[in-house]
């Protein structure tokens, strides 16, 4: 089994992985700058709320993938130790 991705994942295992992503933060700021120009306050709030819901789901998915890689690595290491 190839775990090369796992080593890459170790670099971003920190719980604040998203807050440390400069590209993510730039894109988020660009989104908020554009939304700020929406004159209809209710529409602006709905758009931001929907984006936050999408962001939350994406974060959950990413963290589940990180955990899967971590678990597979631990399992692989244990199997190697048992041999």
The residue ranking higher by pLDDT, 9 or 54, is 54
Residue boundaries of the structural domains of the chain: 18-82
31 burial type by CB count under 10 A (0-12 exposed, 13-18 middle, 19+ buried): middle
Which two tokens mark 82?
């048992």
Total residue count of the chain as it appears in this document: 83
Q: Name which of 66, 4, 71 is nearest 79 in CA terms.
A: 71
- Asked if pLDDT for residue 10 goes beyond 90, the answer is no
Which two tokens mark 37?
């120009």
- The pLDDT tens digits for 14-50 are 567 777 888 989 999 999 999 999 999 999 999 999 9
Please, which pLDDT band fits residue 54 given cuts at 50, 70 and 90?
very high
Q: Name which of 45, 23, 26, 25 is nearest 36 in CA terms.
A: 45
């Amino acid at each position: 089994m190839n775990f090369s991705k796992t080593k890459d994942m170790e670099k971003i295992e920190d719980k604040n992985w998203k807050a440390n992503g400069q590209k993510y933060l730039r894109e988020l700021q660009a989104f908020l700058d554009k939304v700020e120009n929406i004159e209809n306050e209710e529409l602006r709030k709905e758009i931001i709320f929907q984006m936050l819901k999408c962001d939350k789901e994406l974060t959950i998915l990413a963290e589940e993938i990180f955990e899967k890689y971590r678990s597979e690595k631990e399992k692989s290491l244990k199997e190697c130790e048992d041999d």
